[in-house]
Amino acid sequence: MSLKHSESLAEFAPALIKLQGLLHTIAHDAENEHHNLTYTTLDGIWKAIRQPLQDCELAVAQYIGEAVSVGELSFMTVETMVIHKSGQFIFCAGQMPIPTQKGMNLSQCCGIAITYLKRYAVCAALGITTGDDDGDAQRAWPKEKERGEGIKDDKRTWQELHASGDWKEFPCPDSSDLLGDVSFKQLSPLMATNARAGGPNAALTAATAAMVEGICKNRGVTVAEALVKVEWTGKPFMEMEAKDLMLVYNAVFAKIPRP
């Protein structure tokens, strides 16, 4: 997610500090019956923040950006602006792969991605939480009985699974297929969920590393060259966590053009 802001934040910053003092973790107001989890809807978030925003003389505007494609992956973009009455602002743009859902057409799948991005973007911009992390972890790593024999006790790191290629033999959390038999387009939402949850699924983290290598190849650079071009200052590639890998992927996608 890229961030821009007005030249000065002298009036914006105190207003945001005041807002964060008024807001607390927002309660869940809906249930995902498929995963037996609760979560906070976009409507629930807005109900919680609308009046505090007005009290702090702030406003939030969100816009749908251009859909873009990289190989077989298609991404939706949502742009979020938080504005103070002085005209000072912060602006960020986030992307996520368009998920594929059985029984849904492309427009419906795009709608899912847009709503998802709006939820997380407004929370990130305002610095608020909804307590969804545990749910993300459960979606990223299925129950023991769903993981398959011979895999549930596997304690290897993502680096070991990446080096051996064994991550491809792990079951996909959302289907009966193996990770190696599922397209990156289908895997990308699961990778993002795994990254937000802290990378509990080492196989998905290894798949994310493979996705980074894939987009670097698509851009005609090595991973090492890409890290220089995007001015990455974090951990080396083979020491990254799942969230780092997703950040690098998004940075390469946004900053390095195709040859």
Longest dimension (CA), the chain: 60
State the average pLDDT for the chain.
82
Buried-state track 83-103, b at ≥16 Cβ within 10 A, e below 16? bbeeebbbbbbbbbbbbeeee
pLDDT for the residue numbered 29? 81
pLDDT for the residue numbered 174? 66
Buried-state track 208-233, b at ≥16 Cβ within 10 A, e below 16? bbbbbbebbebbebebeebbeebebe
Q: Which residue type does 170 have?
A: F
Look at residues 188, 184, 10 and name the one whose alpha carbon lies nearest to residue 95.
Answer: 188
pLDDT for the residue numbered 134? 45
Compute CA distances 39 → 31, 33, 74, 122, whole Å: 6, 11, 26, 15
Mean pLDDT of 184-211: 84
Compute CA distances 76 → 17, 170, 200, 237, 244, whole Å: 30, 28, 26, 26, 20
Q: Report pLDDT digits (tens) over 19-56.
A: 999 998 888 887 766 555 677 888 999 999 999 999 99
Query: Which residues touch 53 (CB under 8 Å, ≥6 apart)?
Result: 19, 59, 60
pLDDT for the residue numbered 40? 85
Look at residues 83, 12, 15 and name the one whose alpha carbon lies nearest to residue 55.
Answer: 15
pLDDT band at 151 (very low <50, low <70, confident <90, very high): very low
pLDDT band at 138 (very low <50, low <70, confident <90, very high): very low
Query: Cα separation of 1 and 16, whole Å?
Result: 19
Residue 147 has pLDDT above 70, yes or no: no
Report DSSP state, residue 172: P
Report the chain's terminal Cα–Cα distance, integer Å: 23
Residue 99 has pLDDT above 90, yes or no: no
